Amino acid sequence: MTIERTALPGVGISHSVTTAAQQRLGVVSHLSGRRDLVVYDTEDPEQAARTVTLEDHEAHQLAGLLAGTVTVDHVGELERLIAGISAVRLRIPAGSAYDGVALRETRARTHTGVSVVAVERDDEVIPAPDPGFVLRHGDTVVAVGDDPGIVALTALIAAVS
């Protein structure tokens, strides 16, 4: 499933997906912290059929139920420079098998051929983290590799421990 992200100036950000059954769903993240879940009309996938408003704490609880989702953000400029190589940002979700595990113990490069080149934690960027660096929920891993490797790493990060 591909997650589409759209900036909504003055409102927030909209994320939308289309399921295997061709049902379109979305989440509008307002600048205030409020979240709107959107179910789109099956006849007109641009028209909302139903909207459910969630307060911040409700959204967090629902996210816990849906844990295991990983969003892949492509780093476009780098990808244009090197054909066949993708640079992505992968957020470590709650419950990930990588949460609380040292980078060396993940054996990510061995299993996928993808290199972790940095980790974003809170407002800090850790370039070239050493093998003993412990990943945690909420970290964003910056990784470089080919498409099959990125897909494999995404699946490993999404796996629930």
Asked which of 65, 81, 97 is the last residue of a domain, the reply is 65
Tell me, what's the pLDDT at 70?
Answer: 55
Answer for the pair 140, 112: CB distance below 8 angstroms, yes or no: no
Whether residues 48 and 80 share a domain: the answer is no
Whether residues 89 and 149 share a domain: the answer is yes
Whether residues 91 and 120 share a domain: the answer is yes
pLDDT digits (tens, 9 = 90+) for 77-112: 554 556 678 888 888 988 888 999 999 999 999 999
Q: What is the DSSP letter of 138?
A: T
Residue numbers in the chain where pLDDT is lower than 50:
79
Tell me, what's the pLDDT at 146?
Answer: 87
Tell me, what's the pLDDT at 86?
Answer: 80
Tell me, what's the pLDDT at 114?
Answer: 94
Domain housing 35: 4-65
Q: Is 133 exposed, middle or buried (0-12, 13-18, 19+ CB in 10 A)?
A: middle
Tell me, what's the pLDDT at 58?
Answer: 80
Identity at 17, one-letter amino acid code: V
Whether residues 56 and 77 share a domain: the answer is no
Q: How many domains does the chain have?
A: 2
Tell me, what's the pLDDT at 89?
Answer: 86
Beta strand residue intervals within 24-155, DSSP E:
24-30, 35-40, 48-54, 72-74, 86-91, 115-121, 124-127, 140-145
**CA-based R_g, the chain, Å:** 17
